[in-house]
Amino acid sequence: MELTNRKQNILASIVNGYIRTGGPVGSKSIAEAAGASPATVRNEMAELAELGLLEQPHTSAGRIPSERGLREYVDNLMPAEPLSDNDRLTLDAMLAKSAFDPERLPGGAAHTLASVTRCLAVASAPSGVSAKIKAVQFVQTSRRTAMLILISSAGTMKTKVFHCDFDLSNEIMRIFFRVLNERVVGRLVTAVNRAFIQSLAVSFNDLALLMSPALLALLETAQETVKAEMHVSGQMNLLFYPELGPGGARRVMDFIERQDEAAALLLSGRPGRVQIRIGQENGHNALAAAAVVSARYSVNGADAGAVAVIGPLRMRYARTAAQTAYIAERVGEMLTRVLREE
């Protein structure tokens, strides 16, 4: 839709006021900022309401932006808010505790975003759906137990401790390492299913009994690698936003606990750009009063996972988008570096 400059300025002022206070914005405060009379501003606000860009709460003479108005603001009126050098240093320092640890990094990313945005934050571990097995390693943990470590091309590392009915030796550990790396490295993780493990066991002939515990551990770690593991932080932050409605924070948290649905929402965005979804655009009743800002990250040039912020409709969109994009970029860089060093 085409809006005059005055209407654009008034809509932007109302959105900014709503984000700042969470309440309706009156014509008087807008008139002072716009250098126009309150009557002129009221007329413009009435026309913006007719266009579906503003709403009037029942108990107030002021206006708040509708979801359509927020979308117009985000798409066409919102100024960029790039991070300063100090902002980036702060985020890097917060990520430092989990940096370059593939198991802890997604959780660290979610905690960092939740802390700086005062919202709920989610980060998915790298998806193993299209990943290949990069290496299989073994560490003996006791006389009859060992740990299998599966490293994927997506930057994930999954472990499984398994027990043997026989004493382990250096020679047996070397057999585990050599045989499995020869057979599975370079193979898609999704291809390591129960049928593949059974066929592999049959092909081992006399070694089948010896390899059985390691094969079962391999199957379990492959299944764990494929799962879309979600890390969540800042759940309590949602309690400070009453506009989410009665039980709104609980509904959002219940939705996030349904990890498959949450992962589908996060991973539906386009790689390389920040996606902002407002209210009904999220496609879930639990998020109807919420905004979601998400960004995908890549590992070794391949799309791998995502980070997201979930908060009220009066979110600081430009600021949150910049923070989310930076965290996604850093997570991808760190996981790529870890993968290349292994």
Q: Please give the residue that has the higher pLDDT: either 302 or 231.
A: 231
| First-to-last C-alpha distance (Å) of the chain | 53
Which of these three, 45, 77, 109, is where a domain ends?
77
SS3 at position 140: strand
What pLDDT, on the 0 to 100 scale, is given for residue 91? 96
Whether 98 and 138 map to the same domain: the answer is: no
Whether 203 and 234 map to the same domain: the answer is: no
pLDDT digits (tens, 9 = 90+) for 44-102: 999 999 999 999 887 667 899 999 999 999 999 999 999 999 999 999 999 998 887 87
Whether 119 and 236 map to the same domain: the answer is: yes
Whether 321 and 253 map to the same domain: the answer is: yes
User: Taking Cα atoms as reference points, which of 296, 316, 276, 244 lies closest to residue 123?
Assistant: 296
What pLDDT, on the 0 to 100 scale, is given for residue 341? 65
CATH code of the domain containing 138: 3.30.390.10
Whether 175 and 217 map to the same domain: the answer is: yes
Largest distance between two CA atoms of the chain: 91
User: Taking Cα atoms as reference points, which of 91, 96, 76, 119 lies closest to residue 233?
Assistant: 119
What pLDDT, on the 0 to 100 scale, is given for residue 265? 81
- Looking at the structure of the chain, the number of domains it has is 3
Which of these three, 226, 251, 286, is where a domain ends?
226
Calpha distance 153→130 (Å, rounded): 9
Non-local CB neighbours of 336 within 8 Å, separated by 6+ positions: 155, 298, 299, 300
Q: Please give the residue that has the higher pLDDT: either 28 or 69.
A: 69
The domain of 156 spans 133-226
Calpha distance 207→147 (Å, rounded): 19
CATH code of the domain containing 24: 1.10.10.10
pLDDT digits (tens, 9 = 90+) for 168-220: 999 999 998 998 899 999 999 999 999 999 998 888 887 888 889 999 999 99
Whether 160 and 306 map to the same domain: the answer is: no
Whether 61 and 148 map to the same domain: the answer is: no
Give the whole-number percent of the chain exceeding pLDDT 90.
Answer: 58
pTM of the model: 0.80
Calpha distance 291→289 (Å, rounded): 7
Whether 245 and 336 map to the same domain: the answer is: yes
Calpha distance 185→230 (Å, rounded): 26
* pLDDT greater than 90 at residue 141: yes
List the structure tokens of 250: 């609980």
What pLDDT, on the 0 to 100 scale, is given for residue 30? 85
Whether 282 and 323 map to the same domain: the answer is: yes
Q: What is the DSSP letter of 132?
A: B
What pLDDT, on the 0 to 100 scale, is given for residue 59? 66
Whether 289 and 333 map to the same domain: the answer is: yes
Which of these three, 191, 226, 261, is where a domain ends?
226
Whether 116 and 163 map to the same domain: the answer is: no
Whether 111 and 155 map to the same domain: the answer is: no
